[in-house]
Each structure stands twice: as C-alpha cells, then as structure tokens.
Amino acid sequence: MNASKTSHCRMRVTEVEEFLKNPPDGFSVEELSSGHRVHSDPEKSLVLIDDFNSCRREIVFLNSVGRKVKMQNLWEYTSMRKSLLSKRIYLLMSACEENFSVNDKKAANEARVAVLKQFVVSIDGNDPFIKWQMEKGLDWSISSVAGESYRVDIDLTEIMENWAVKNSSVITDKLTKVQPVWRDASFTLKYYSDALFDFAHWFGFSKRKFSLRLT
C-alpha cells in the first residue's frame, strides 16, 4: 500500500517514491541525472516543501514557497490566506523511529532518530471543516498580537499520529508495531510588520500555534 485517503479526501498520504512515479493531477515530474524536478499548478495547489534528498537524489518542487512562509505586507498575507483556504496544501513529512543507544558519545540515554519513510501529505484547504479550523486559527493569531510581527505554526502532528495507528504497515515492514515520531508535521507563517520597536517579536512573545484535525 503506497497511498491512502482519509475523511473523504480531506487528507492524502503518499510515499515519496510513489508520488514521483505516479504524480497526482496537476503535477508532473522531470527526471534529471541529479534527481527530480516536480512541476505543479500554482492555481490549484499550494506546495510548502523545501528541497530535499531521497535515495541520494535531490528532489526540487519548482513552485514551492517553502515550509516557512515569510510575508512582508498585508497584500502578501491576504494572498497566502486565500491560498490556504481554497487550495490543496502539500507538505513533506518524515515518519521516524527513536533509537536509544548506550554508545552515544554525547549522552548514554540520548535518543537518536532514524527516518523510516518520507511522505507527501496533502490536505484540502477548501474542505469546510479544514477551512473553518484554518480561519479560526489565523483570526486568533492576528487578534492576539495587536498588529506587530508574529509567527504562527500550523501543526498536523495529531492528524499524522492518528493516521499512523491505522497504517502501520505502510510506515515499516517490521512485524512489531512502531509508533513513529513525526518530523516536519507542521508549517509556519511569518509576518513582519514595519513597526519601529517590535519588542514582542524580538523577545519571542509573538509566537503562536494551532493544530488541525480531520474529525
């Protein structure tokens, strides 16, 4: 099983290799000697994926704005908000396993994280339930920082943890069940105001976070 859909396609989870081999509608993959270039339709999809390596090959999503989106003015914020509430949003996430080793030089009980698999995860920003949560979270973030610069993390960890419970065989071939630790299960919006003395932002008081759910 390489891909799965949940809650009437509110979310799709696809292994990276499968995504490159059989890209969804609106995507095409160009194979190069150094890796792959992935083309997408920015009118339909919002890609928030940084360049990464898979099987020692570089994967580049050409129309991606990256997992951390910077906005400098109200127009940029309004444009990003409109995309989040109307398009399918694509992210790269890694299912990892914590390995505890007594041979670690830094600390005997320090956890080492091994990547089990990488997935392209998409959520439908136009879905009424997702859209409602996104609007509520964005409105709360703005109203709570009173116009200064701020950062907001939109977290999907709970969604992925629930998905993993039902799809453990997709994550690993091991006979014993693995409870993965999810890396990059969020994306970030950073808004920079032109305030002369932006003390709250400087001292880290304007960081916000909200989570999305499927049900």
State the average pLDDT for the chain.
85
Kindly state the tokens that stand for 145. Answer: 């920082």
**Predicted TM-score of the model (pTM):** 0.86
Distance CA 111, CA 108 (A): 9
Kindly state the tokens that stand for 162. Answer: 């629930």
Cβ atoms within 10 Å of 139's Cβ, excluding its own: 11
Across 28-38, average pLDDT:
93
Across 139-147, average pLDDT:
72
Please provide the DSSP assignment of 122-189 as one string.
EEETTSHHHHHHHHHHHHHHHHTTTTS-EEEEEE-HHHHHHHHHH-HHHH---SS---PEEES-EEEE
Cβ atoms within 10 Å of 45's Cβ, excluding its own: 21
Nearest C-alpha neighbor of 174 from the set 125, 133, 117: 117
Residue 86 has pLDDT above 90, yes or no: yes
Cβ atoms within 10 Å of 215's Cβ, excluding its own: 8
| pLDDT band, residue 141 (cuts 50/70/90) | confident
Kindly state the tokens that stand for 207. Answer: 């960081």
Across 171-191, average pLDDT:
83
Q: What is the pLDDT of residue 31?
A: 92
Across 3-16, average pLDDT:
80
Residue 174 has pLDDT above 90, yes or no: no
Q: In a 10 Å sphere around its CB, with 0-12 CB exposed, 13-18 middle and 19+ buried, how is residue 182 labelled? A: buried
Kindly state the tokens that stand for 94. Answer: 């890694």
Cα–Cα–Cα angle for 130, 70, 40, rounded to 5 degrees: 60
Q: Contact, 14 vs 29, CB < 8 A?
A: no
Q: What is the pLDDT of residue 14?
A: 96
Distance CA 151, CA 155 (A): 13
